Amino acid sequence: MTQDEMKRLVGAAAAAYVNQNMPEGITLGVGTGSTANFFIDAIAKHKNRYRGAVSSSDASTARLLHYGIDVFDLNQIDDLPVYVDGADEINELGHMLKGGGGALTREKILASVAKEFVCVVDASKCVSVLGFFPLPVEVIPMARTSVAHALRTLGGMPKIRVRPDGDIYMSDNGCIILDVHRLKIIDPEAFEVAVNQIPGVVTVGLFAHRGADICLMGSVSGVKKIDYRGEMT
């Protein structure tokens, strides 16, 4: 089974999980990235069951609208029962490293208000220690040099994210992203706080203080559900 096939399997499993566990008429929280895209593809078949969605990126919004799913601003809704999104890495406690797709700030906002965070990944994303994948940090442009210096003092090697054409990558929020290499994040909660306290940082792609509630992990043997609140199936 290829990685894309595993992602498609997990996306379908997430749609089934939401359909079975969430009431009709709710607004769904939808993340960003390739696995989230497969979830959108799968949930589109059941779009009439839901009011619509709130999205963490312009790209996901476009995909949802393509399927005729209404997309709301977060300020327009009072309740977000579930948020479904992928991760670049996830550990045994449900702490995640996210932001490879550049939407970490909006992802963190949606995660913070969602009652349940369902993380959808393939088995390659499960790690014992976070940090092999570069840690994204979204930064106000004028602070990129000072923030980079502060990140080096924390033991990382920050690099400005660029697009394939060589231009600096700009987030949907008009900010730059520093990808921090050579990290071994032993205490994700403490490191999240340390980076967020650097002046000029919008947010860091560590989701430790608000980690996943459920992980649906795809592998060659199928989809395993890990409940960080105490169950594994």
Annotated binding site for substrate: 32-35, 85-88, 98-101, 125
Annotated catalytic residue within 5, 89, 107, 116: 107
Q: Which residues are annotated as a binding site?
A: 32-35, 85-88, 98-101, 125
Residue 127 has φ and ψ, to the nearest 5°, of -135, 160
**What are the E-state strand segments in 170-213?**
176-181, 201-204, 206-207
Can you say whether the dihedral through the CA atoms of 143, 146, 148, 151 is positive or negative?
negative
What's at 229, amino acid-wise? R
Name the percent of the chain in helix, strand, coil, to the closest 5: 35, 25, 35
Look up residue 10 and give its amino acid: V
Helix, strand or coil for residue 103? coil
Measured CA to CA, the distance from residue 23 to residue 26 in angstroms comes to 7
d(C-alpha 53, C-alpha 47), whole Å: 10
Q: Is 5 a catalytic residue?
A: no
Residue 60, beta-bridge partner list: none
Strand partners, 139: 176, 201
Q: What is the DSSP letter of 120?
A: E
Adjacency order of strands within the sheet including 27-30:
52-55, 27-30, 82-85, 116-122, 214-219, 222-227, 231-232
Catalytic residue annotation: 107
